[in-house]
Structures are given as structure tokens and as C-alpha cells.
Structure 1
Amino acid sequence: MQYRRLGRSGLQVSELSLGSWVTYHNQVDTKAATEMLAAAFDAGVNFFDNAEVYAQGQSEVVMGEAFKALKWNRLDYIVSTKFFWGLSREGNTTTNRKDTLNRKYLMQAIDGSLKRMQLDFIDLVYCHRPDPHTPIEETVRAMSDMITQGKALYWGTSEWSASDIRAAWEIAERHHLHKPVMEQPQYHLFCRRKVEQEYARLYEDLGLGLTTWSPLASGLLTGKYKDGIPADSRGAMENMAFLREGLTDPAKNAVVAELAKIADELGGNVAQLAIAWVNRNPHVSTVILGASKLSQLQDNLGALALTPRLTPEVLARIDALCKALAS
């Protein structure tokens, strides 16, 4: 495992990391989470990603219980959470509870996450989506205050536009506040525009770091959806129905079959190839993996062996297959 700085910060994150979206609480209980976190940590992973909204807060609870059981030194691991959607409460539709980045919500959201995860501070906190109804300055000041209060160490954004990231950074610069240092975008072989084009100026201008998610395109790049939706897959879950059309796309599945041949030549499988492809981008600080079982995690970590095998010639072959279908 190699380690990379998170943007221009001094924080060193493992090139592969482990996230909890979809899986924790829904598919993975505390015992299984503890087992997977331990295996990832033993492989050199030091960053574990979460969000307030995952499983309506229960994902943070599961991860917090796992950390408690593992008794790691707090200096040895990095944990994140993300704020925007809030936690639903039956009968309560107040706009200060969800889909917002206003100060009232944010300052209470961090306290809720700290309690659920049983931590004194969270290393990385993200604005999970942009909020067009709250002035960016209000959001920047609230996120900066989290850091000043010692409840978080670094803050950033997720799926923000380049213009909004730059606006937030410039507000922080102008008012001597803590600046956003990282963005968490979706990035994989079929989703490339933001990372490779829209954010291009931000890496040099702002020192932006990336903690990318969905390297396997929600499972499409494993090849398991070529014949439909397997009963035990993410695509079969009721709350993941919105993914199904993309997972069964005939053109993309045909490309995945060709990518599998390249992966085989390199001594790996198509999932490992897809993760390695993201990992080889120098602007990516860490690639967030997801896993519902230990064997899946161990297989995905095998991408480390493929990364140095992605020569310019191999990358050109991959681009020739994928670029026409990429967005």
C-alpha cells in the first residue's frame, strides 16, 4: 500500500480506502464490519468513509461500534462523514432538517455524527451536495467553525461544481477561514468529465485532493450484470432500483467483457483493472472501495498489483474501448 497527501494538506491517506455506502447496516452488521475493517487495516488501509445519511445514521453506528471493538490508536486511522440530506423523522418536513447546508443544520449534524460514531473528532467532513438555497459563505463559515472547535480536522465537498468549489475556497481565503481541501466525486471508466476536465484547473490552483467513489460503477465493472440482475447483488436491492438501467446497459456490458480480456492478460480480473485505472490517476488521493463481504474486499485490494502494469499502451487500449460511452 502506498500513501498520498490529501491535496496540499499534510495528511497521508492510503491509495485504497474503504467506504460504507449501501452495505453497512443494510448488508453488513457490526461483526462483519469489524472483520472487514481489520482486514483492510492489516492491508495498509487507513481511511474509512461514511456519511450521516447512509442507512439513516445506522452506518455511522456500525462503524463506530467496529472502531470501539478494534481499539486502534486514534492516530492510526482516518474517518469521514458527510452532511446534506439529514436524517428523516416521520411527520417532520422542516427544511432545516434535510437537503440543506445552513449553519443550524450543520452545527447540529456534526454533533450527531460524533455521538453515533463514539468519536471525539472526525478527520474529514464533507458537504455531501451543493445547496443552492444557502449562501456559500454561510456554509463555509459553519464548516470552518467545526474545525476551529476541534470537531473536525479538514473539510471538503462532494459532487460540487468546479465554480462552487472555487467560490468556497476564495471566500475562506478572503476571510482567513479554513479552506476546503478535498472533493469526493464519482469517478470510473464511464464517468470521467468532472475529474479529468471540469476540475483540471483546481489541482494546481487550489491544491484540491480527490477521494473518489464508485470505481466499479456500482458493480457494472465487475461483469456480474452481463446476464441481468443477480438476486444477491446491489442492483437487486429495493432502494437501489434507480441503478438497474445503467447496470444492464448492453453497450457498456459489451465493453466490460472486452476489458475482462485485458485484465486477464495482466493477471487480474476486470474489477481489479477498473480500480487500478482510477488509482493510476495522480490527482486521486484515494480510491474508496465498497464491499459486502470479506472475500470481495480482499479481491478488490488485488488492484494494487495491477496498477503498475497499466502502461501507456494498455491505457490506450482501455480508452479506445471506453471513451465513447464515458460521460
Structure 2
Amino acid sequence: METRRVGRSGLRVSRIGLGTLTWGRDTDEHEAAEQLRALVDAGGTLVAAAASAGGEAEGLLGSLLGDDVARDEIVLALRVGARGPVSDRRGDGSRRAVLADLDASLARLRTDHVDLLLLEGAGGPGSAPVEESLAALADAQRSGRARYTGVAETGAWRTARASALAAAAGEPLVAVEAEHSLVARWADVDLLDAADAGGLGLIARSPLGGGVLTGKYRHALPADSRAASPHLVGVVEPHLDASARGVVEAVCTAADGLERAPLDVALAWAADRPGVAAALTGARTAAQLRGVLTGADLRLPEQIRRALDEVSAERLAVGRPRA
């Protein structure tokens, strides 16, 4: 698998990364171990530890590192600065919270450092002043607990401000993580420009729109699907409206023409956007992840890319974070 530099830093990550949001809840230890091994066997390196309320995903990932996959085989990313369920996370970027959350996560992950530490909602409503949060990131970096730092779920203006303040302090940020897919394109409006100006690479999460872009919700809502799950309904539901359905149909049409799966098309679109360092996708089972990785070699013809850009233009306003 292709690896890329994150922004203008020396950190390199795989084009496709693995999210662990379902680990410890919908994904058991056996499936998680198989997922991790499948990623590494495919040449993937980026793994994002999910900060679930009880730390289940982190604990499970930590139990696998060293036994199933060596710690130095992966680039480990972690988010701090916000707490609560996916649908209603609350910012707390205080120095106390950032460093306490980091240390607790490191203990669960059974490692002394993460490769990429991301501050969620930097300077947003309810959070600490961004200067305080950035000082905590810098402390984590100087102590060796974090190799690189960045932000997550932050609008363009706050991303640009955080990047400028960190650079002025001599501790530059290297990445911003945000939702980015054909059904959630707000990053195209101004975030990608802000990231480029600051030398940050975009980690595109949910490149399949919570599974909507695989086409599995075209005709019905399966009872065992993510959209029907209470803890993930907030992730999927925004992408089930009429304009999103039009995008899904276009993706399926393109997939038919290329003789590929719809998820291959959607993932290729997100992963190869200018400024994107990696597309971060998750799976409930190892079989699902292998399907994603098998199709990850696709590069979209320019004509199809332009057509998808046009048909998804209505989605430019979707996904913007509260911060």
C-alpha cells in the first residue's frame, strides 16, 4: 500500500488507515486481531485508537500490540480533548484533561507513546483556551509521549489559528482529522485550504459515509446495520436524505462502469483528494476490512472524479463540526 507524508512533516502513514470505533463492542478480540493483521499484511500502518467512554477499544488494541502485531509496525493515532458518545461529545481541552486522558489511554494501550496525538475541538465552545490546550500537546511531545501533534473535528478558522499559534511556539501541528466523503464535503469549502496553508495533512475519517456509500442502504435499512444501532445512528442518519441518495446512485453507476464495488469508488475518491494524507475506515469484521483493503488499489479516472464532484456538490454544507 502507498504511504504518504502527513502534511509537510516527516511522518508517513498508509493511504488507508484503520479505525477502531467498533472494537470491544461490536468487534471481539478475535475479529480485532484479524483486522490488525490484515491491515499490516496489506502494507497499512495507520491505526486510530477510539476513545470510547470505558476505554474498551484502547484496551483491546493494547492487548494485541506486541503479540499479534509489533508496536513499531503501526503508526498509532489518538484523540484527546473531548469526552462522551460519538453523537454528543463535549470539549474539554484543559491541560489537566488532555494530559490525564493521554496518560490513561497510554496505560490502556500498553505503550509509552503515540505517534500522532490529535486535540479534538481545539478552542471550541465549552473547551479551554486553545493556547492552554496547545501547551499541553507541546508538553506531551517534549516528554516523548507523542511524536507528532494535530487537531480533530475543528472548523477551518480554528484549525488555522491553532496551527499558527503552535508554529509560533516552535511546536508545529502536522495533521487535522475530519469527516470527509462524497456525502460530507464541508472540508472542501475551506478546511483543506486552511490545512494546506498551515502544512497540515488531512486524515479523512468516515470516507464511506458511515457505510451509506457502499450502497447497502439503497432499498432498505437492515435491522443489524450501523444505521439501526443506537450508538451509531447519529453517524449514519445525516447521510440518508434525498441528496445523499442521489450521490449513492452515482457512486453505484460509476462502480458498475468500472466493474468495481461502490465502496472502492467512494474510498478512492476520498483517499486521493488533494491534501489528504490518509482515509480512515473501520469495519465490524475482518472479512469486511479485507473487502475494503482488496479494493484499495483503485485510482479513479479523472472523468469519473469530476462527475462525482458535480453530483455531490449539494453535500458541501454537510458535516461541519460545531467547533
Q: TM-score, normalised by structure 1?
A: 0.89
Matched, 1:160 2:154: yes
Matched, 1:51 2:41: no
Q: CA deviation at 1:239?
A: 1.7
Provide the secondary structure at the position in 1 that maps to 2:267: helix
Q: Which has the larger radius of gyration?
A: 1
Q: Provide the residue aligned with 1:145 in structure 2.
A: 139
Change in 2 beyond 3 A, CA 1:39/1:102: same
Contact 1:46 1:78 (8 Å CA) reproduced: yes
Give 2:12's aligned amino acid. Answer: Q
Q: CA deviation at 1:108?
A: 1.0
Q: CA deviation at 1:47?
A: 0.7
Moved more, 149-158 or 227-236: 227-236
1:110-125 mapped onto 2 (5 Å cutoff): 110-125=102-117
Q: Which of 127, 131, 135 is the equivalent residue of 2:119?
A: 127
Give 2:105's aligned amino acid. Answer: S
Q: Which of 59, 62, 70 is the equivalent residue of 1:61?
A: 59
Matched, 1:313 2:272: no
Contact 2:243 2:314 (8 Å CA) reproduced: no
Gaps of 5+ in 2: 318-323
Contact 1:85 1:99 (8 Å CA) reproduced: yes
Q: CA deviation at 1:71?
A: 4.4
Contact 2:176 2:195 (8 Å CA) reproduced: no
Q: Distance in 1 between matches of 2:201 and 2:286?
A: 28
Provide the secondary structure at the position in 2 that maps to 1:26: coil
Q: Distance in 1 between matches of 2:72 and 2:55?
A: 24
Give 1:40's aligned amino acid. Answer: L
How many residues are matched? 311
Q: Distance in 2 between matches of 1:29 and 1:240?
A: 17
Q: Which of 274, 286, 300 is the equivalent residue of 2:278?
A: 286
Q: Provide the residue aligned with 1:91 in structure 2.
A: none
Provide the secondary structure at the position in 2 that maps to 1:184: strand
Q: CA deviation at 1:69?
A: 2.5
Matched, 1:76 2:73: yes
Contact 2:16 2:44 (8 Å CA) reproduced: yes
Moved more, 316-325 or 142-151: 316-325
Superposition CA RMSD, Å: 1.9
Q: Provide the residue aligned with 2:252 in structure 1.
A: 260
Q: Distance in 1 between matches of 2:105 and 2:84?
A: 11
Change in 2 beyond 3 A, CA 1:121/1:325: closer
Moved more, 285-294 or 237-246: 237-246
Contact 1:190 1:323 (8 Å CA) reproduced: no
Q: CA deviation at 1:77?
A: 1.2
Instruction: List, as ranges, runs of 4+ consecutive aligned residues in structure 1 with deviation greater than 4 Å.
Output: none
Give 2:94's aligned amino acid. Answer: N
Gaps of 5+ in 1: 89-97
Contact 1:235 1:247 (8 Å CA) reproduced: no
Quick one: percent identity of the two aligned structures?
29
Q: Distance in 2 between matches of 1:6 and 1:125?
A: 13
Contact 1:229 1:248 (8 Å CA) reproduced: no
Contact 1:226 1:250 (8 Å CA) reproduced: no
Moved more, 316-325 or 12-21: 316-325
Q: Which has the higher contact order (CA 8 A, sep 6+)?
A: 2
